[in-house]
Homo-oligomer: A and B are copies of this chain.
Amino acid sequence: MSTVGIDLGGTKVMAVLVENGEVLAKAKRPTPISGGSDAVIAAMVAAARKVDPDGSATGIGIGAPGPVVPGTGVLPAAPNLPGWDHDVNVVDRVSAALGGRAVKLDNDVNVGTLAEWKLGAGRGADDLLGVFVGTGVGAGLILDGRLRQGPRGLAGEIGHTFVAFDQLRNAPVGRGELEDFAGRRSLQQWVDVAPLGESTFLHSLMREGRLKSKAWAEGIEAEDPLTLQLVGRACSALSAAIASVITLVDVERVVLGGGFAERLGEPFRVRLEAEVTERAFAGQTAPVVTARLGDTGGAVGAALLLEHT
């Protein structure tokens, strides 16, 4: 039995055909920047046909940016998707275009966690946190051997948990949420508000006004003080949020992924794990391990939605 998985992102649509945990085919196309949700749905359908030309897959799973209310099939207005400005029933639309086959939809980070749990660094753990650090910070939770979705599909929004409760109304950037200290978007904002002398080196690494993960790795390499300060603080904020999850819901393993974390590599993971351990309640910590599936993880996890939700 094969299934199609689609990772719907702000810049690309990736589709895979999966059978017994193996990726048999892969297709990638740019997310349409005009034509709104109709064009985006057409791109997903085309990518699905590309990896499964004879339509033999039993179903199609989709991971999408934004909370998805379980069971509705609806992806609400998604700021990261061009022209996706209102609720769209993705499940009905994609199913209709693909011969009425089963379609499942969930959040992109939830499906990334599902993939790591079934096929990657999270295998064998019944209680697992997947944390993905890229532009922002997202997470997924496996609890008692099931993907936690929550009645409103919020579950896993770790980037919006509070790590600095006293900065709700008076911070230079954000309001004290994890994502205000960790992730490329807010790190860049902190550079923007830093005194010019301190941020000169990072400014020299910007491309089109943006700092990519590679630039942060270069700043660390060069021992630039502002880079070290901001990345150190990001690591600290992440460790606090992760330790809080371990203590609050009791997970036995943490899988760390996402473009930013991946680029900073093993030294970042080691430092993060050490601070998570220091913050553990009553010595009860959890190892932080590196995600294994890379950038196909989302699509593969989407394919797994058919069996596991």
Contact = CB atoms under 8 A, between A and B. Distances in A.
Interface of A: 67, 126-127, 139, 141, 143-144, 148-158, 160-166, 168, 175-176, 181, 233, 236-237, 239-241, 243-252, 275, 278-279, 281-282, 284
A144 B143 CA distance: 11
B248 A281 contact: no
A139 to B, nearest CB: 8
A292 B249 CA distance: 25
Contact of A250 (B126, B152, B181, B240): B152
A49 B268 CA distance: 57
Contacts of A151: 126-127, 250, 252
Contacts of A126: 151
Given A151-B250, A164-B166, A166-B236, 11 more contacts: A67-B282, A139-B248, A144-B148, A150-B250, A152-B250, A158-B247, A161-B244, A163-B163, A165-B236, A165-B239, A165-B240
A266 B148 CA distance: 33
Nearest to A163: B165
A248 B162 contact: no
A250 B154 contact: yes
Contacts of A156: 248
Contact of A236 (B139, B158, B168, B244): B168
Contacts of A239: 165
Given A67-B282, A150-B127, A250-B153, A240 B158 contact: no
9 contacts: A126-B151, A154-B247, A155-B248, A155-B250, A158-B247, A160-B281, A163-B164, A165-B240, A168-B278
Nearest to A282: B67
A236 B141 CA distance: 26
